Amino acid sequence: MAKVTIDGITIEVPDGTTILNAARMIGGDIVPPTMCYHSKLKTSGGYCRTCLVKVSKGSEKDPRPMPKPVASCRTNVMDGMEVENLLSPEILEARAGVVEFLLANHPLDCPVCDQAGECDLQNLAYENGKVATRYEFQKREFEKIDIGDKIQLHMTRCILCYRCVKTADQITDGRVHGVLNRGDVSEISTYIQNAIDNDFSGNMIDVCPVGALTDKTFRFKSRVWYTKPVDAHRDCPKCSGKVRLWYKGEEVLRVTGRKDQYGEVQDWICNDCRYEKKNTSDWVIEGPSHVLRDSVISANHYESLKALKATIDRQRKGLPHGHKTTLGHGALDPNNTH
């Protein structure tokens, strides 16, 4: 076991736990935001850099601080480690920088994007970003590509989180999906645009944090906030059969995997459940899905984000760089903000 302190809150976690997961065990606002990490995918994380934290004390044995910010999703805790997230103005500034980088080449046209309302990037930018972008050059654009008849890829919106690549690698067989080219012209691609006709390919849609991979059978049928999520299950020979049905009126518009509070899929589902079972009679209904605090479907969506945003803005603006904060931990107490 290792004892780690994050923003002044101490917790004991098993050896080999990442800083991010230790923070998630504590819960609340001190949990660093993530875009590329996904708990159900091996070797995910490390790419987007939104989860950067400052390690102000390495461990009991070697108390030296780590020289650079580290990706909390890929860095394991050490016994006696002290970590700063919301308490570090430099980290919040660096994170605002990451948001700006992620948005630099991202089309800022949420009103016409199918992901709007359930987009992790929208939420991230709202909480951690700044008001305006300083990027004034032409953004890169790609043509839309059909990956088979069910999935559409719009690379223009992709943030290269590698989640779909890992999904294709780890839960479907026969690797035909990966990254082509390098740098800011990298693109997600299937092998010569092969259709991914695999029983589990649809999960790539669920892991995509932005509107780059979307469900063609659902695209533009409805804004998500007009739909009602309901948890349901069925006895499926291929997968867990645990799904979320998205209703408009009496009609099931789409079927997805269930996501946890961090937007990460809990159980993979097969394409049969996702595309072929769109009648209520196919399912055992469990009841309305637990609506997340940061979901637009929740009544006071951006209201509930405001408290955290205010804390972040205050921390970032109010304090000079490198200045130790005098803010009492109470203000960041996870129990205080809800």
Partner 1 sequence: MAGKKLLLANDHIEGIRSLRVYRQHGGYQSLEKALKQMTPEQIVEEVKASGLRGRGGAGFPTGMKWSFLAKPEGVARYLVCNADESEPGTFKDRYLMERIPHILIEGMIASSFALGARTSYIYIRGEYFYVARILEQAIAEAYEAGLLGKNILNSGFDHDCYVQVGAGAYICGEETALLESLEGKRGNPRIKPPFPAVAGLYGCPTVVNNVETIAAVVPIIRDGGAAYASIGIGKSTGTKLISASGHLNKPGVYEIELGVPVEEFIYSDEYCGGIRNGKKLKAVVAGGSSVPILPAELILKTANGEPRLMSYESLADGGFASGTMLGSGGFIAMDEDTSIVKNLWNFSRFYHHESCGQCSPCREGTGWMEKILHKILDGNGTLADVDLLWDIQSKIEGKTICPLGDAAAWPVASAIRHFRKEFEEYVKNGKNIRDVKHYYRLNNLVEI
- By the criterion CB under 8 A, which residues form the site for partner 1? 46-49, 52, 67-69, 71, 74, 93-94, 97-98, 100-102, 104-105, 134-135, 137, 159-160, 162, 178-179, 181-186
Smallest gap from residue 320 Cβ to partner 1 (A): 15
Residue with smaller CB distance to ligand SF4, 41 or 245 = 41
Closest CA to 214 of 280, 268, 164: 164
Residue with smaller CB distance to ligand FES, 37 or 246 = 37
Strand partners, 152: 146, 214
Residue with smaller CB distance to ligand SF4, 120 or 272 = 120
The two three-digit tokens of residue 50, written as one number: 């939104």
Where on the chain is the footprint of ligand SF4 (CB under 6 A)?
A: 158-164, 188, 207-210, 212-213
Q: How far apart are CA 14 and CA 36, in angstroms?
A: 23
Judged by DSSP in three states, 108 sits in: coil
The two three-digit tokens of residue 306, written as one number: 């405001």
Residue 51 touches which of ligand FES, partner 1, ligand SF4, none (CB < 5 to 8 A by kind)? Answer: ligand FES
Smallest gap from residue 38 Cβ to ligand SF4 (A): 9
- Residue 32's identity, in one-letter code, is P
Residue 188 touches which of ligand FES, partner 1, ligand SF4, none (CB < 5 to 8 A by kind)? Answer: ligand SF4
Q: How far apart are CA 42 and CA 45, in angstroms?
A: 9
Other C-beta atoms closer than 10 Å to the C-beta of 65 total 12
Residue 34 touches which of partner 1, ligand SF4, ligand FES, none (CB < 5 to 8 A by kind)? Answer: ligand FES
Q: How far apart are CA 332 and CA 245, in angstroms?
A: 36
Smallest gap from residue 163 Cβ to ligand SF4 (A): 4
Q: How far apart are CA 34 and CA 263, in angstroms?
A: 9
Residue 163 touches which of partner 1, ligand SF4, ligand FES, none (CB < 5 to 8 A by kind)? Answer: ligand SF4
Residue 195 touches which of ligand FES, ligand SF4, partner 1, none (CB < 5 to 8 A by kind)? Answer: none
Q: How far apart are CA 20 and CA 26, in angstroms?
A: 10
